[in-house]
Amino acid sequence: MFCAKCQEFWENAISKATLKDEVKSSNDIEWAPHTTTLHSSMHDLEKSSRNDACTICRLILALPTIHEKEGLLANNSKPIAIILELDATKPQVPVLQVTFAEAEPKSDGSPNWILPKRTIASCAGLLTDDEFAATLKHTMTLDNSSTGSDAALALASFWLKRCLSTHDKCNAKNDRSGWIPTRVVDVGDSDDSIRLIETGTDIPEDGDRSFVALSHCWGKIHIIRTLKENYADHRIIQDNTEDWRAEAATMCDVYRHAVFTIAAAHAPGGDVGCFEDRDGVLQFPFVIEIPAKQDMESDSPRPTRIQYSSYGRVQAPLGREPPLYGRAWVLQEQLLSPRMLIFDGSQIRWECLCTHGSERSPLGGMSRHIGHQKTIRNGVMDNVDFFQPQGPDTPPFTTRAQSQSWYFSVMDYTHRGMTKSSDRVVALHGIAQAVARTTKNEYVAGLWKDELWTGLLWSIPHYKEYTSTTSDAFDLAANRTVRHDNPIAPTWSWASVTVPVVYPVPTIIFIDPIVKILNVSVSGTPDKLTGSVEIRGHIRTGHINPIYPYAIREAATTNPDMSFYDTTTGEDELFTFNNNHSFSPADYFIFSPTPPAPGKSKTLQDSPDWRLTRGTFRPDELLDPGTEITFLALAQRYTGSEKGSLLETHEKGDPFTVWSIALVPTGRVEGEYRRIGYAEWVDCSWYGYMCGHKSRPGRDIESVEKGGWRGLLKREPLYGEKPGKGHRHEFVPGEVPYVGGYHRSVGVGVREGVVTIV
């Protein structure tokens, strides 16, 4: 709906445009620049916006900031020029721009600007969808003062109807076959008819068993809950462990079989509510109609409709996800729901398997799903093996790329907030269930059995390696212990720790195993698992002065001098040792085959055998340097570089980078271990050599002493023996390497053996 002046503006703009005889796309219309003074005061603009309900005038009125309205534009009656311009710099994609200027121009005739030129809307192309055009026209007659308004819900109904009637992919995996949750809320026809029902007894077999799911943040303020004491009134039980365990195990089906899921994305808690007041005119697109030329064969020629998307002010910071997507439990709701109606602050959004849209771009818009989420989601919905892409010419690393999508999901998941860390296993169980239904691969405590060796390569990083879209969703400061008070998963699983973890992606796609997984077994309930993995490979023992990641909060209290700084605060410093040398824990770690000297302080610098080892060691928990650690090498890759270059090469004959996990005996059974860390050994340091360049850009030791750090080379793995003298840069991927390829200084401490990790 436009006021008379805006309608005149468009009529004049259309008369200047050049149209082809038949308009099939935006390229068939060439707009010309057009400018007019729309209003002569803020009072006139406000009147037109209010009384005429003009879409464009309301967009212009919302354009200035509150400070500009209270300052430069405070006098509503002051004569000013509110100039509306059709910018046709790109003739097929014109934009609407507005400028506020003094009523009197400058002496040279140019405008005397009050506010700079700003865009209020842009052309979104031709609108050829008659059903959507009718829906959009209908919404203009409805209240649109909140995201729960009649206009917003009319658009939501259009999205749902379109998906149910035309999207074969969305409907293929949503055949509910009568499945329904144990308990649902019957919303009835009025507020006083809302009640909780037991579906097994309250809904007949031939009754309507369709349902809608809800995704929301609990928040810190408890809203209404169903407990034992009010069960007769509510019939959902939140404080019964057995009932909770049984219902939590059905989450896969709850979201997969819901007609759609309502997501209260913007609300940090249940006390906030789902809807938000706003001016919907600033969110919805509007339509410009170009009258059709008279056609003798048609009594009612159809006009050409041009859709414009508004540039209404966005309230949420750009690039940030709403609070809901910072919660770990919600990941499975995002990935398993075939359709989602998302209440995202000042607008609503729609996402299904086939399309996504928002109020500003109802037939397009922004998708909340990033790459790995789409891969997992499609894998859940497609009736193919997720880990075995189809096709005879599929590259061998493609299967590992599918696994990488799972690792990205684990990183996403563990960087989200979770009220109870004990839910770490069960809150991902629904996704695992869904993936497991279409693959021969076996899910084992957060990992997958095929290529389990890559799944074991998780770690707690020193640096902020993974950037969550909902930043700081995981509260590190409040997470006081890195291990669960009561174990809920085997130590080799990322679920055994309470903090965010990372995987070496995308490198993990290209590395090769040097172990044999002999057996893996897991048992228990979805919320608490035990298990073991039996692996044959190369084993080394030694001692490490661990540098603790900030996420291990116990170390910040007990070992502050060995704790790496919180990089989220900008305090990014090198770790100092021997009082005058510093290095990054991503580049070196201090290793010794022997423990600290008796009677000395518990640091390896007091051991005569300590060395600086190129690579990184990341502990899973607090460690004593006197504890002997058993390292199991899992994988390796050729990794070299040209001298003085930061670029890596991966040619046969380059030095080895080795990926390993750190273990200590459980003390219960001979040969049984638990995981306590992760290590990468660079430039053949695993084999006791230093085959890379003596100095690499970005991987040096800083020294306050004159002469730099070169005097410490003797404390690095040995130089001097070239490949060919017991140390060849070659191996067979998938096979355990030749055990005689180690330097004599470490060879006596290396063996090929079998370990059982629990």
For 54-94, the pLDDT digits (tens) are: 999 999 998 898 899 999 999 999 999 999 999 988 877 89
Residue where a domain stops, chosen among 369, 388, 410: 369
Residues 411 and 362 in one domain: no
Q: Please give the pLDDT value at position 38.
A: 93
Contact (Cβ atoms closer than 8 angstroms) between residue 56 and residue 48 = no
Q: Largest alpha-carbon pair distance within the chain?
A: 106
Please say if the pLDDT value at position 316 is more than 50.
Answer: no
Q: Please give the pLDDT value at position 572.
A: 59
% of the chain surpassing 90 pLDDT: 43
Residue 718 — very low, low, confident or very high, per pLDDT cuts 50/70/90? very low
In which residue are the tokens 């060879």 written?
747
Residue 721 — very low, low, confident or very high, per pLDDT cuts 50/70/90? very low
Residues 642 and 715 in one domain: yes
Residues 519 and 652 in one domain: yes
Confirm whether 285 is domain-assigned.
Answer: no
Residues 347 and 416 in one domain: no
Query: In 3D, which of 697, 702, 657, 650 has the Cα closest to residue 679?
Result: 657
Query: In 3D, which of 516, 460, 461 has the Cα closest to residue 491?
Result: 460
Q: Which two tokens mark 38?
A: 């729309």
Structurally, the chain folds into a number of domains equal to 3
Residues 610 and 519 in one domain: yes
What DSSP state is assigned to residue 695?
Answer: S
Please say if the pLDDT value at position 502 is more than 90.
Answer: yes
Residue where a domain stops, chosen among 126, 141, 169: 126
Residue type (1 letter), 726: G
Between CA 136 and CA 362 the distance in angstroms is 10
428-445: pLDDT as tens digits: 999 999 999 888 999 999
Q: Which two tokens mark 480?
A: 């006081």
Q: Please give the pLDDT value at position 296.
A: 43
Confirm whether 392 is domain-assigned.
Answer: no
Confirm whether 380 is domain-assigned.
Answer: no
Q: Please give the pLDDT value at position 287.
A: 92
44-56: pLDDT as tens digits: 999 999 887 899 9
Residue 156 — very low, low, confident or very high, per pLDDT cuts 50/70/90? very high
Residue 8: count other Cβ atoms within 10 Å of its Cβ: 13
Confirm whether 444 is domain-assigned.
Answer: yes
Q: According to the per-residue pLDDT averaged within each range, which of 218-222, 359-363, 538-542 is highest?
A: 538-542
Residue 704 — very low, low, confident or very high, per pLDDT cuts 50/70/90? very low
Residues 117 and 227 in one domain: no
Residues 591 and 735 in one domain: yes
**Mean pLDDT for the chain?**
85
Q: According to the per-residue pLDDT averaged within each range, which of 386-400, 464-478, 700-714 is highest?
A: 464-478
Between CA 505 and CA 129 the distance in angstroms is 43
Residues 567 and 434 in one domain: yes
Residue 188 — very low, low, confident or very high, per pLDDT cuts 50/70/90? confident
Please say if the pLDDT value at position 483 is more than 80.
Answer: yes
* Mean predicted confidence (pLDDT) in 169-175: 71
Confirm whether 283 is domain-assigned.
Answer: no
Contact (Cβ atoms closer than 8 angstroms) between residue 372 and residue 334 = no
What DSSP state is assigned to residue 687?
Answer: G
Q: Please give the pLDDT value at position 369.
A: 63
* Mean predicted confidence (pLDDT) in 463-488: 87
Q: Please give the pLDDT value at position 10.
A: 94
Range of the domain at 200: 150-278+317-369
Q: Please give the pLDDT value at position 562.
A: 85
Residue 620 — very low, low, confident or very high, per pLDDT cuts 50/70/90? very high
Residues 93 and 168 in one domain: no
- The distance in angstroms from the start CA to the end CA of the chain is 68
Residues 569 and 618 in one domain: yes
Residue type (1 letter), 625: P
Confirm whether 391 is domain-assigned.
Answer: no
Residues in the chain: 758
Residue 300 — very low, low, confident or very high, per pLDDT cuts 50/70/90? low
Residue type (1 letter), 124: A
Residues 463 and 507 in one domain: yes
* Mean predicted confidence (pLDDT) in 513-533: 95
Please say if the pLDDT value at position 607 is more than 90.
Answer: no
Confirm whether 134 is domain-assigned.
Answer: no
Confirm whether 581 is domain-assigned.
Answer: yes
> Could you write out the DSSP letters of every residue in 421-459?
GGGTTGGGHHHHHHHHTT-SS-EETTEESTTHHHHT--B
Phi and psi (nearest 5°) for 496? -75, -15
Residues 202 and 164 in one domain: yes
